[in-house]
Amino acid sequence: MNVDAAGPMVASPSRASRHFATAVAAAVAAVVGAVSACDKGGSERAPAGSPAARPGLASTECRAWVGPTVAAVVTHSELDELSGLAASARWPGLFWTHNDGGHKPRVYLIDGSTGSVRATFKLDKAPKADWEDAAVGPCAPADPSPCLYIADTGDNERSRGAAEIVRWPEPNVLPAAARAQEPVEIAAGAWQALAFSYPDGPQDVEAMAVLTDARVVLLTKQDDGFSAVYRLDVAEGWNRAGPIASAERLGTLDLRTDGAGGQGARVTGASAAPDGSHFAVRTSATLRVFAGTGPLVGMPSALGAWPVTLLAPPSEPQGEAVSWRGVRELWTVGEGKTPPLYRYTCAP
């Protein structure tokens, strides 16, 4: 990666971020309250120890991978244009997913072993011009509790004055209604939105990752074999009616080295390992794994020097999403009816 900005920046908790962590805690309470209000009994609670109990958190570089293998098939009739995938931190073995633009603002919690939908939530009045990717990461720099982030960043015409990130604290309760595939409404006060712009004009972005310091990394979708990389500080600006935030351009990722130019090099998904030691970038035709020995804090300029493993992509009509599960598993899913969930596993 050729990066034309300074190296890593480690954010220290500011007064604003401390206030922000308090606000997130209140939002979590609001979520639990909303869930409890609509529950008729039979709720399911997150396992004890979540979200700390995540598989494979050792910062170990992996260059040999097994896969892809089909782990499950998603059969829910509504899930025919999946665009984001994010391993849950609270619910081991489950993944958050959502449809592309043109669908209702719903998120689905699916089982990685069966492909079945375990819960459905509707984010009431959430912005949804074009949802493109999902990630689970810290709710704030000073708050490690997990939030689900959704990138409302698609812009095929490159005409949007502002893109948005939607964030919602991961629930630790799944109400019976949600598990019965009846969408449970999450009120506007429980989720938050951050409007932002790019310093060099509107961009079409389908890939987002959340880093260990809660900052967001965004990668553009282009046809020329490159991808612009941006970083967004998410400590402030949520639900603000005033000036929108501005993303910082870090540099450009060169995707031509594998010979997959044109549409085959268009970035459609990204994911950061929960300990920051690996970073995956998916294109229409390839899957790259960047491996490093240190935590990925603030997207260091040295990313381009990290070893890169090019994995054989799964057989999908339109590959879209990628997610780490720990640091020894990579999962992908694509668009279409009954899409398979593919898994790559780090070889022992």
Cα–Cα distances (Å) from 111 to 25, 142, 311, in that order, read 27, 30, 24
Residue 6 pLDDT greater than 70, yes or no: no
pLDDT of residue 304: 58
Q: Cβ contacts of residue 177 below 8 Å, gap of 6+?
A: 38, 39, 40, 184
Whether 312 shows a pLDDT value over 70: the answer reads: yes
Residue 219 identity? L
Q: What is the pLDDT of residues 88-112, one digit of tens each?
A: 999 999 999 999 877 889 999 999 9
Q: Which helix (H) or strand (E) holds 71?
A: strand 65-73
Tell me: the pLDDT tens digits for 70-86?
A: 999 999 999 988 999 99
Binned at pLDDT 50, 70 and 90, residue 7 comes out as very low
**What pLDDT, on a 0 to 100 scale, did the predictor assign at position 210?**
93
pLDDT at 19 over 90: no
CA distance 129 to 146: 24
Tell me what pLDDT residue 190 has: 92
Q: What is the dihedral of CA 296, 7, 291, 247, to 10 degrees?
A: 60
| Stretch 278-293: mean pLDDT | 81
Confidence band for 263, pLDDT divided at 50, 70 and 90: low
Q: How confident is the model at residue 20, as a pLDDT?
A: 41
H or E stretch at 212: none
DSSP designation for 1 = -
Q: What's the rounded Cα separation, in Å, for the pair 62 and 327?
A: 9
List pLDDT tens digits, range 197-208. 999 999 999 999
Topology, domain 15-38+64-346: Neuraminidase (2.120.10)
Examine the pLDDT at 268 and tell me if it is beyond 80. yes
Q: How confident is the model at residue 242 (pLDDT cuts 50, 70, 90)?
A: low
CA–CA gap between residue 38 and residue 29 (Å, rounded):
14
8 Å CB contact between 208 and 130: no
Asked whether the beta carbons of 166 and 150 are under 8 A apart, the reply is: yes
CB 314 within 8 A of CB 332: yes
Between residues 308 and 343, which one has the greater pLDDT?
343
Q: Does the pLDDT value for residue 231 go beyond 80?
A: yes
| Region 250-268 average pLDDT | 73
- pLDDT value of position 292: 58
Mean pLDDT of the chain: 80
DSSP readout, 233-297?
A: --SS-TT-SSSPEEPEEEEEEE-GGGS--GGGG-EEEEEE-TTSSEEEEEESS-EEEEE-SS---
Q: Please state, as a whole number, how many other Cβ atoms lie within 10 Å of the Cβ of residue 306.
A: 19
d(CA 265, CA 206): 13
C-alpha dist (Å) from residue 60 to 64, 144, 294, 347 = 12, 22, 9, 12
Q: Tens digits of per-residue pLDDT, 315-341?
A: 887 888 999 998 899 999 998 999 999
pLDDT at res. 15: 43
Q: What mean pLDDT do residues 54-80 have?
A: 78
Extents of the domains making up the chain: 15-38+64-346
Among 21, 2, 1, 3, residue whose Cα is nearest residue 11? 21
**Helices in the chain by DSSP H: which ranges?**
15-38, 176-179
Q: CA torsion sign, 123 to 125 to 127 to 132?
A: positive
pLDDT at 309 over 50: yes
DSSP H/E element including 190: none
Structure tokens at 156: 């095929």
Residue 164 has pLDDT above 90, yes or no: yes
For residue 148, name the pLDDT band (cuts at 50, 70, 90). very high
